[in-house]
Amino acid sequence: MQPVVERINRLEEEFQTLSEEALREKTAAWKEELSAIQDSEKLQERLEELLPEAFAMVKNAARRLCGKKFLVCDHEFHWNMIPFDVQLVGGMVLHHGQIAEMATGEGKTLVATLPIYLNALTGRGVHLITVNDYLSRRDAECMGQLYRFLGLTTGIIQHDQSPEERRAQYECDITYGTNSEFGFDYLRDNGMATNRGQQVQRGHYFAIVDEVDSILIDEARTPLIISGPATISTHQYDHLKPLIADLVRKQSMLCTRLVNEAKELEQQGKKEQAGLLLFKVKLGQPRNKGLLKSMEDPEIRKLIDKAELSFYQETSKDALVELKEELYFSIDERQQEADLTELGRLFLNPDDPNAFVLPDLLTQFADIDADSTLDENEKNKRKQGAQQHCDVQAERMHNIAQLLKAYCLYEQDVEYVVEENKVIIVDTFTGRKMPGRRWSDGLHQAVEAKEGVQIDRETQTLATITIQNYFRLYEKLAGMTGTAETEAHEFHDIYGLDVTVIPTNKPVRRIDNNDRIFKTRREKYSAVIAEIAAAHHRGQPVLVGTASVEASELMSRMLKREKIPHTVLNAKFHMQEAEIIARAGLRGAVTISTNMAGRGTDIKLGEGVLETGGLFVLGTERHESRRIDRQLRGRCARQGDPGLSRFYISFEDDLMRNFGASDRMTKIMESFGIKEGEELEHPWLNKSVETAQKRVEERNYQMRRRTLEFDDVMNQQRGVIYGYRNEVMDCAHPRDMIDEVIDEVVPKKVASFLETHGEEPDVVGLLHWVNTTFPLGMTEEKAAFSKRSLEENSTFLITTLKNTYEKKAALELAEARISLERYVILNAIDRLWQEHLYAMDGLREAVYLRAYGQKDPLMEYKTEAYAMFVELMQQIKEEVLSNLFRSTTNLQAFEALLSSMPQHLIHQNTQEQKHPAPHSSRHEEQEQTFHLPIQRDLPKVGRNDPCPCGSEKKFKLCCGKG
């Protein structure tokens, strides 16, 4: 690389004669040229050619800025740096997509500007990732001067920015921000935005990650999670449960009576009547003990089947409906459906049986539209009101249906068990418990309500990604840090990043002393305090490194007792911390710091400190990872300063206790003949500690690898879903995509009902599905499914569906309709994807438990996750169909409401994930005013209204029967 460095320096000398204008013109010309290159290989070739000139430009601009003053984070900053040769080399390493290991104080912030400038010329946006918001702002404000001088723009992402502000920052040539902000923006763009205009990022071309070990290794264990309130309100279950429990008891009593009557009838030889009553019980309480017992007798089973068959004949439809109406609710075990009857509705709310009926939204809308006394505004308001009312009703009915199923179809110790206040699903085929898995669509909550255990999922995951997978999105990735070497193989294996160690600008003068080892913590700490006191009195500044906030506080108390003035840092308030740590090099200063505190801020030596030997870094414990210890040592002796480091350890430290280092040391100690109370110091002992550290490092690496292997599965699925989502947002006519769904799903559904495998085609079931999913009000005569072939039926339904939809669509404003259609698909994707995420979490926990059964959890996870995903895609399409006729013309209001839905952003330890952030009261308020639609059935007409087919019968007895 030396020849290139020389070339850069020669070019830079030439550039010194150019005018400032000429420099900016060069930038503009390159930018124009490079942004026209589409092919990425060609682009990289051209960048390679340009590198010396571009680096020379940056170096030259830095030279011209020297002596200039400007504000950085509200403090005056004097620019006085021109890249050193080693910095130029570092810049090249970054440009080539590698990790540059450069010691603390070598000026990595400036190094990054070289490849950033070069790559920003492509116009594709370059991202620089820092460890906190403060550093983003500091580095962007400082280096932004350089970019501006060269004619490029710089953006800064900060936590509190609005989407508009963020978009503006991403539009800049260069954008600084933290990994959390970048990652969350990605998740929001792809998992939440409902149109392209709401997205803020514009691609992932090149990212340089500062303190790359901290971000890609230490934080990689913690996925980014956006969570929001659960779509299913638990309050309704709490409130409905006693009502439904009563209703079920009522029905159960009724059914037991019927079973007894049936027995008598049977004994009297009235077989047919007995069969009829038992069939009625089957409709009302399929798991009734008496019924099940009777059914053990084949004679009786035949009677029931006969009765059942008679009701499913074309001519006895009315009779079946009448029969059901004698119950409080009916249960269809095979279809897993539950339906309230009028009797049931009256029981639940005698004053208003309509409280449990879905309003007829389309007619209401039509009525509103037809009312000439209303202006547009008023019409919209009323429609919105009607829609909201409908949503509430729909959710309530859905909850009731799920509770009925929970009571009548799900039995404790059969379908599930209750353990530790949790409902655990039992695989009914194998009898195996499946901890962590959940039934979807609110059923699990319903069972939880039934059992009176804690109803889970106050919040749910809306979107999530691991840090690893976020950074894999970039076409090109690079990183820089003082400490990467020890983790080189991990960077290589997981990110494909190679580590290149860059020599320091000046020779390192730091003295790393041997560890001092004590038998007990107490002995260690008193030696530490004595050492600090001595240094403080000499005037030598000390940076005391601790392993935890707790340890920092303990140190602080001990120093207070000795009346040694000191400052404590613990990585919470970045801005103040940077200021404090910057003073840590002053004469006599004592600063206590956890390992991440103040990272990124340089410690410059104060006056008269050189003579004392420079900054003294004193580690009070060895960290699990050698890298973190190196990082701490590196805080001193920057840029050729003198400096000194030493670690203090005791046999009682966690590392020593847990990783067997103590035993080995005791042996060494014995062979040296060292007595109680004495301290040890020998290079062999350092080695011994390092061996223990290597062991922990390896274990942690395996854990991170495992996390990643699991997340890879999710990552592929996320790719498909986000791709589909973006397609929906991009397509000009979402109607086409809906038509595709109709064309795909309807034939599948038709086949599922009609394709016979030795059984009778389920014509009734199909009609029921049609009439409860679409407002077609289809009569049996009109449907006439049995008269057509499978294909003809599909075609017939598809045509009818599309025609009806066309009619509905004609009512709406064209533009509103398009966004509505888009929304229908997006909503289906989002709702079910979120359910899926939740189920995947459950699966992940579950497979770990299976590991005890000698199964490879990863394989199990992959297989099941694949099956779940296939099902998800199918469900999404079905949901698109069910939501098709649910309309809100006032979409803007709806979208605004949606995007204002509270979201929690969590970036925390996986261990903590299981306890999601609790609701704040604000979230609860909002949740009450808005429910995501989760309804299943939407009959066009109220059940007791006259049937629209003109038969003069009630709807429920005519087309509405099912």
Binding site for ligand ADP (CB under 6 A): 81-84, 87, 102, 104-110, 602
83 binds, among Mg ion, ligand ADP, none (CB under 5 to 8 A by kind): ligand ADP
How far is residue 745 from each of residues 533, 612, 869, measured CA to CA in Å? 78, 80, 17
Query: Is 331 strand, coil or helix?
Result: strand
| Secondary structure in 3-state letters for 335-351 | CCEEEECHHHHHHHCCC
Give least dist CB 108 to Mg ion, A: 5
Task: CB nearer to Mg ion: give 108 or 904.
Answer: 108
Helices 271-284 and 298-311: crossing angle, nearest 10°? Answer: 80
Task: CB nearer to Mg ion: give 108 or 768.
Answer: 108
Give least dist CB 897 to ligand ADP, A: 45
Q: Are 147 and 62 in contact (CB under 8 A)?
A: no
Task: CB nearer to ligand ADP: give 91 or 857.
Answer: 91
Q: And the tokens for 904?
A: 């929690």
Q: Are strands 75-78 and 69-72 parallel, antiparallel or unpaired?
A: antiparallel
Query: Position 271: which residue type?
Result: K
Give least dist CB 108 to ligand ADP, A: 3
Give least dist CB 211 to Mg ion, A: 7
Give least dist CB 139 to ligand ADP, A: 8
Task: CB nearer to Mg ion: give 46 or 604.
Answer: 604
What secondary structure does DSSP assign to 221-284, as a single string? GS-EEEEEE-SS-HHHHHHHHHHHHHHHHHHHHHHHHHHHHHHHHHHTT-HHHHHHHHHHHHHH
Give least dist CB 86 to ligand ADP, A: 9
Task: CB nearer to ligand ADP: give 83 or 541.
Answer: 83
97 binds, among Mg ion, ligand ADP, none (CB under 5 to 8 A by kind): none
Q: Are 323 and 337 in contact (CB under 8 A)?
A: no
Per DSSP, which regions of 574-652 are E strands?
590-594, 615-619, 642-650
Task: CB nearer to ligand ADP: give 104 or 888.
Answer: 104
Give the Cα separation of 931 and 827 in Å (integer). Answer: 13
Which residues are registered as beta bridge partners of 331? 338
Query: Position 907: which residue type?
Result: H
Give least dist CB 145 to ligand ADP, A: 12
Chain contacts with Mg ion (rule: CB under 5 A): 108, 600
Give least dist CB 82 to ligand ADP, A: 6
Task: CB nearer to ligand ADP: give 135 or 362.
Answer: 135
Give least dist CB 605 to Mg ion, A: 18
Task: CB nearer to Mg ion: give 599 or 646.
Answer: 599
Give the Cα separation of 189 and 199 in Å (integer). Answer: 5
How far is residue 364 from each of residues 161, 170, 361, 383, 566, measured CA to CA in Å? 42, 45, 5, 8, 73
Cα 729 to chain centroid distance, Å, stands at: 21
Long-range contacts of residues 260-267, Cβ cutoff 8 Å, at least 24 apart: 260/290, 262/294, 263/294, 266/300, 266/303
546 binds, among Mg ion, ligand ADP, none (CB under 5 to 8 A by kind): none
Task: CB nearer to ligand ADP: give 83 or 939.
Answer: 83
Q: And the tokens for 550?
A: 């707790």
Query: Is 83 strand, coil or helix?
Result: coil
602 binds, among ligand ADP, Mg ion, none (CB under 5 to 8 A by kind): ligand ADP
Give least dist CB 75 to ligand ADP, A: 13
How crowded is the C-beta side of 745, counted as CA atoms within 13 Å? 21
511 binds, among ligand ADP, Mg ion, none (CB under 5 to 8 A by kind): none
Helix and strand numbers, DSSP H then E, in the chain: 35, 24
107 binds, among Mg ion, ligand ADP, none (CB under 5 to 8 A by kind): ligand ADP
Task: CB nearer to ligand ADP: give 97 or 107.
Answer: 107
What secondary structure does DSSP assign to 289-325, as a single string? HHHHHHTTSHHHHHHHHHHHHHHTSGGGHHHHHHHHH
Burial 69-101 (b: 16+ CB within 10 A, else e): eeebeeeeeebebbbbebbbbbbbbbbbbbbbb
Residue facing ligand ADP at closest CB distance:
107
Which residues are registered as beta bridge partners of 396? none
Give the Cα separation of 799 and 51 in Å (integer). Answer: 62
113 binds, among Mg ion, ligand ADP, none (CB under 5 to 8 A by kind): none
Give least dist CB 106 to ligand ADP, A: 4
Task: CB nearer to ligand ADP: give 8 or 880.
Answer: 8
Give least dist CB 571 to ligand ADP, A: 17
Give least dist CB 441 to Mg ion, A: 50
DSSP 438: -
Give the Cα separation of 345 and 530 in Å (integer). Answer: 81
Kindly calculate the radius of gyration of the chain based on its CA atoms and give it in whole angstroms.
35
Give least dist CB 132 to ligand ADP, A: 14
Task: CB nearer to ligand ADP: give 87 or 445.
Answer: 87
Task: CB nearer to Mg ion: give 108 or 127.
Answer: 108
Rounded to whole angstroms, the maximal C-alpha distance in the chain is: 117
104 binds, among Mg ion, ligand ADP, none (CB under 5 to 8 A by kind): ligand ADP
Query: First vs last Cα of the chain: how many Å apart?
Result: 79
Task: CB nearer to Mg ion: give 108 or 167.
Answer: 108
Short-list 297, 547, 216, 250, CA closest to 408: 250
Give least dist CB 102 to Mg ion, A: 9
110 binds, among ligand ADP, Mg ion, none (CB under 5 to 8 A by kind): ligand ADP
Task: CB nearer to ligand ADP: give 109 or 190.
Answer: 109
Give the Cα separation of 479 and 485 in Å (integer). Answer: 12
DSSP 498: P
Give least dist CB 128 to Mg ion, A: 11
Could you tell me how many residues make up the chain? 962
Which residues are registered as beta bridge partners of 422? 419
Q: Are strands 416-419 and 422-426 parallel, antiparallel or unpaired?
A: antiparallel
Per DSSP, which regions of 482-598 are E strands?
499-501, 509-512, 516-518, 542-546, 567-569, 590-594
Q: SS3 breakdown of the chain: % helix, strand, coil, rounded to 5? A: 60, 10, 30
Give least dist CB 381 to Mg ion, A: 56
125 binds, among Mg ion, ligand ADP, none (CB under 5 to 8 A by kind): none
Task: CB nearer to Mg ion: give 300 or 632.
Answer: 632
